[in-house]
Homo-oligomer: A and B are copies of this chain.
Amino acid sequence: MPRDVPERVAVDGDRLWRSLMELAKIGAYDDAQTGLRGVSRLALTDADADGRRLLVSWMKAAGLTVRVDAVGNIYGRRAGSEQDARPVLIGSHIDSVASAGAFDGCLGVLGGLEIIRTLNERGVTTRRPLEIVAFSDEEGVRFGTDMLGSAVAAGRIALEDAYALKDADGLSFGEELTRIGFAGPHGVRLNPPPHAYLECHIEQGPLLVRSGTDVGVVTGTQGISWQEILVYGRAAHAGATPTEMRIDAGLFAAEIVRHLRDMVESGDFGKLRATVGHLSLHPGDTNIVPARARLTVDLRNPDEDEMVRAEEHLARYLDGLQGVQDGLRITARRMARTSPVAFNARLQAIVTREADSLGLTHAVLMSGAGHDAQEMAAVCPAVMIFARGEYDGISHSPREYSTAESCARAIDLLAATALKLADEE
């Protein structure tokens, strides 16, 4: 895979691709709907444990000193010429959603590993140590809180609160982490903090591929607001209950879904995005008016004020909806909330300069998704690089795809940036 970049930073794109494909075998499944091979490697499942063990073996084979902390974050350190200098940390995550592709998170971790392998081959020693990290449970699908491992490392979430989180079967994060053997002995806090944190990730959006741009320099991440909404109606016989006597929890849940889209389309809340990813009815039988509906709401907004306004509007809407009918009750519970985060301006400038010097076309954009980098941004300068995805950048789907060349280009840039920062005073 010849790329027109200085040999100093050119990683082995084929080896990177093979590593991505090898890791994607763990948790692989045949997706009935798309007809594609997908990945399901939910946090702290057996598949996640298998993926972690593979990563640790690769880290050790690359000569890294591996440590696992108490929240399951896996660090691999390569010494620098200055033993005590704070390291440049490169990372992301290897857990996935239930219907994923091979790239989300994995590119950032395995890209970091590929940089180490390349430096080893060339006998390059950096001034500062380089450290690779795979954070625990970035997706938040199973235990309900995303960026969990990095949030604990950054001190935003207490370790005991992370341990107490439960999945749908009532299993706790702490129990499951112990069960898979990744409740490590090391402290969770990054103290002293790294010199900088770098994360390369697929864009998960269409901008790079539609414009034919090589890489993205990421200015920050959107705010994320997750809520669980419960609608309590009244179970009743589907045939015998007159319509006007029904308190149909499913009907009101449907109204909420529609209203969220209306909020987005109104333009009243800036660049709001809203998703109802989960909706279920209880008891869920064909011939029973639903007694209860459970739905999740995922709001995203690059602007904190607009996000707060959207949350307040939704709360008022739910309050008003509840008043529509006697006996109807609607509750909302916050599951997770992060504010928009701006990445370090100096690091953005370095990434941009390095992209120019590598001859990579680049776009400056904001991340639609949440990332571990936004947690790291609270403890050290942090920045992200986006790799171009295919198929309009679709992600969280087996259709998620990036080419070997797009991946290699983004990791070349990650390498150049890491080397620059690792040689800083």
Given contacts A254-B254, A279-B279, contact A99 B235 (CB under 8 A): yes
Confirm or deny: A406 has a beta carbon within 8 angstroms of a beta carbon on chain B: no
Confirm or deny: A62 has a beta carbon within 8 angstroms of a beta carbon on chain B: no
B287 and A238 form a contact (CB under 8 A): no
A287 to B369, CA, bound (A): 9
| Contact of A97 (CB < 8 Å), options: B241, B287, B292 | B287
Chain B residues with CB under 8 Å of A393's CB are 240-241
Given contacts A277-B238, A283-B99, contact A291 B395 (CB under 8 A): no
Given contacts A204-B239, A241-B368, contact A277 B273 (CB under 8 A): no
A98 to B287, CA, bound (A): 11
B205 and A273 form a contact (CB under 8 A): no
A335 to B287, CA, bound (A): 12
Given contacts A206-B245, A251-B261, A257-B250, contact A287 B141 (CB under 8 A): yes
| Contact of A204 (CB < 8 Å), options: B141, B237, B368, B370 | B237
A286 and B141 form a contact (CB under 8 A): yes
Nearest chain B residue, comparing its CB with the CB of A291: B33
For this chain, the copies found in one complex come to 2
Point out residues on A near B: beta carbons under 8 Å: 33, 97-99, 139-141, 144, 146, 203-206, 222, 224, 226, 232, 234-243, 245, 248, 250-251, 253-255, 257-258, 261, 264-265, 273, 275-293, 296, 298, 300, 335, 367-370, 392-399
5 nearest A-B pairs in the assembled complex, by CB-CB distance: A240-B368, A204-B240, A254-B257, A238-B275, A235-B397
Nearest chain B residue, comparing its CB with the CB of A146: B287
Given contacts A139-B287, A234-B397, A286-B296, contact A240 B277 (CB under 8 A): no
B287 and A236 form a contact (CB under 8 A): no
A288 and B238 form a contact (CB under 8 A): no
Given contacts A235-B396, A397-B234, contact A275 B298 (CB under 8 A): no
Chain B residues with CB under 8 Å of A236's CB are 394-397
Nearest chain B residue, comparing its CB with the CB of A276: B250
B291 and A335 form a contact (CB under 8 A): no
| Contacts A/B (CB < 8 Å), 15 sampled | A205-B242, A224-B239, A236-B395, A237-B368, A238-B300, A238-B396, A240-B367, A240-B393, A248-B261, A253-B279, A258-B258, A277-B287, A278-B285, A279-B281, A279-B290
Chain B residues with CB under 8 Å of A98's CB are 283-285, 288
A395 and B237 form a contact (CB under 8 A): yes
